[in-house]
Amino acid sequence: DTAVSQTPKYLVTQMGNDKSIKCEQNLGHDTMYWYKQDSKKFLKIMFSYNNKELIINETVPNRFSPKSPDKAHLNLHINSLELGDSAVYFCASTRYGQGQAFFGQGTRLTVV
Amino acid sequence: AQKITQTQPGMFVQEKEAVTLDCTYDTSDPSYGLFWYKQPSSGEMIFLIYQGSYDQQNATEGRYSLNFQKARKSANLVISASQLGDSAMYFCAMRGYTGTASKLTFGTGTRLQVTL
């Protein structure tokens, strides 16, 4: 049973397209995140949701729109993809104020 | 604002030796958590060890221990008896809180190479 699962694992798409990445956690956590890892391996938070409510939006272009239909899911939709969006995107979840964050396996997005 | 600094972009260690990966942090939060994660070449993020800011004792998990020095704002990871499988990127991270916002801030990572 995967604790945090992301789909797809790989995504290759052309500039200008719109794509979505899905994330689901079965841990009963109330806080979920999206992180972007660039080519230098730097991990930067993009969004944080707590009980389906957007809490943190870290100066991310508004082409990126997260959606949390329920506490177990946090999806990321990206419009008008650009070359600079190529990166690995990680979903993570945690129980607010407690313990470690669990990460999904990552989605490697390549924009060509 | 929270900040995590890892000053060692790369480290080498011989198999079976111990190695220390440095991490310093800065925060104004009275309560915070410190984490270390391992990222092997396969890409997944693997949790290694956690230290709470009010924990009196240093955390240990098997061959991993966290040398927590609160006054110096450092949270170094010590790996004892290194194995070839320890070769990976290692990230130090801190969790802080602002109201209902909780986020993990990561350092830039240290790439550890274990040699024969």
pLDDT tens track for B55-107: 989 999 999 999 999 999 999 999 999 999 999 999 999 998 776 677 889 99
Please check whether residue A71 is in contact with residue A18, taking contact to mean a CB–CB distance below 8 angstroms: no
pLDDT tens track for B10-53: 999 999 999 999 999 999 888 899 999 999 999 999 999 999 99
Query: What gap in Å lies between CA B83 and CA B78, rounded to an integer?
Result: 13
- Across the interface, whether the CB atoms of A92 and B101 are under 8 A apart is answered no
From residue B15, give the alpha-carbon distance in Å to each of B11, B64, B87, B115.
13, 15, 10, 6
Average pLDDT (A24-44) is 94
Q: Which residue of B has its CA nearest to A106?
A: B44
Contacts of A42 in chain B (CB under 8 A): 106, 108-109
- Distance from chain centroid for Cα A40: 18
User: Which pLDDT score is estimated for B22?
Assistant: 98
In sequence order, which residues have a C-beta less than 8 Å from that of residue B27 and are 6 or more positions away?
B1, B2, B3, B94, B96
Query: What gap in Å lies between CA B85 and CA B63, rounded to an integer?
Result: 13
- Across the interface, whether the CB atoms of A33 and B35 are under 8 A apart is answered no
Select from A94, A104, A82, A111 the least CA-distant residue to A22.
A104
Count of Cβ atoms closer than 10 Å to residue B103 Cβ? 22
